[in-house]
Amino acid sequence: MRIKQRIRIAFTLLEVLLTLAMSVVLMALVGSAFQFYAVDMNVRNMDVRQTQLASAVMQMIEDDLRATLHSEPSDMSGLESLLAASFGEEEGSGQGAGGGEESEEDLSAAGISMDEEPVESLDTTTLDLTSGVAVLQTPGLIGNQYQIQLDLSRLPRLEEYVLMLDETTTDLQDIPSDLKTVAYYVQADDAIDGVLDPLAELDPEAASLTPGGLVRRSLDRAATVEAATMGNLNTLNQTGELLAPEIKGIEFSYWDGLTWLLEWSSDELGELPLAVQVRIYMIDPALAATEDTDTMSTLDTESMRTFSHIVRLPMAVPLEEEEEDLTEAGL
């Protein structure tokens, strides 16, 4: 007798559970792949944005450094020799050898001084551009490892005349001129009387906070000197432009022809550096995507992304003291 085999028309409970488990695993793999792709694209996007930002900031700093002005003392040797020769001819030819000293006495008696008055140099180790007290006696450059201030010569733009008539600004009233004092430094987070972000008005919660980042302050040299000497430092601290909150650090080094120095003062050394190396530090996009952004600001510079650029100053002249030292050393 033949027994017919029963045909199954449904899945068992075990098969359903296995199918659901495999579907969950497959969806998890697909979701992780999409998340990895999104994070990778975000990191690459931030990398490109940081490169473009660093390029723009470096170009701005380079333009300012190339326009740095340094006043050279007047060369009065030709006039001195001419007056010495004229005085020598009047007094006789017998004073040819000692006419130099007598000519200087005669020039002093005539009210002409060939000696330069000593200029009091500033201590770059205590330089603090946020307080606005670093004012050079003559136009030039002063800076340390983390801050720099320079006097540049540039024709005023047309929009500067419009900003001068704006009565709503709280900054110092800058005037259009061809001699500006420009400073670069990194402002700390929640700084007292710091430069505010103009975009902070869009966020009411962040409007009362002072963000950190790279600050560029450009003022007329006369206005800067007056604000520093008159003690108007609070307004001076709030004057400037917050260029990039993404920049967490900046460093400068100065080339004198032989070595890189961490400090420079044109009042003390008498000349501009031959070149200036600029380094800016920003948060690495790879670390920013995996860690908290608030804790990234406390990291050291070794864990940040570094951009470096060397700028040559056209107005720079090698230091004469170094040439004399090399001559005395027989090099």
DSSP 14-77: HHHHHHHHHHHHHHHHHHHHHHHHHHHHHHHHHHHHHHHHHHHHHHHHHHHHHTB--PPPP--H
Structure confidence at residue 95 (pLDDT): 47
Structure confidence at residue 236 (pLDDT): 76
Q: Which residue did the predictor score with more confidence, 247 or 175?
A: 247
pLDDT band per the 50, 70, 90 thresholds, residue 62: very high
Q: Which residue did the predictor score with more confidence, 279 or 36?
A: 279
* Rounded distance between C-alpha atoms, residue 289 and residue 292, angstroms: 8
Burial 114-137 (b: 16+ CB within 10 A, else e): eeeeeeeebebeebebbebebbbe
Most confident of 66-70, 158-162, 199-203: 66-70
Residue 171 has pLDDT above 60, yes or no: no
Residue 119 has pLDDT above 50, yes or no: no
| Phi, psi (rounded to 5 degrees) for 279 | -125, 130
The pTM score is 0.67
Is the distance from CB of 269 to CB of 261 less than 8 angstroms? Answer: no
Q: List residues bridging with 186 in a β-sheet.
A: 214
Is the distance from CB of 57 to CB of 214 less than 8 angstroms? Answer: yes
Residue 148 has pLDDT above 80, yes or no: yes
- Spell out the alpha helix ranges (H) of 67-183: 77-91, 99-109, 158-164
Show the tokens assigned to 194: 């710091």
* Type of residue numbered 35: Q
Q: Which residue did the predictor score with more confidence, 95 or 208?
A: 208
pLDDT band per the 50, 70, 90 thresholds, residue 120: very low
* Rounded distance between C-alpha atoms, residue 157 and residue 248, angstroms: 30
Is the distance from CB of 318 to CB of 274 less than 8 angstroms? Answer: yes
Structure confidence at residue 230 (pLDDT): 77
How many other CB atoms are there within 10 angstroms of residue 317's CB atom? Answer: 13
Most confident of 21-30, 85-94, 120-129, 147-156: 21-30
Query: Mean pLDDT across the stretch 61-88?
Result: 80
Mean pLDDT taken over the chain: 74
Structure confidence at residue 156 (pLDDT): 74
What percent helix, strand, coil does the chain show, rounded to 5?
45, 20, 40
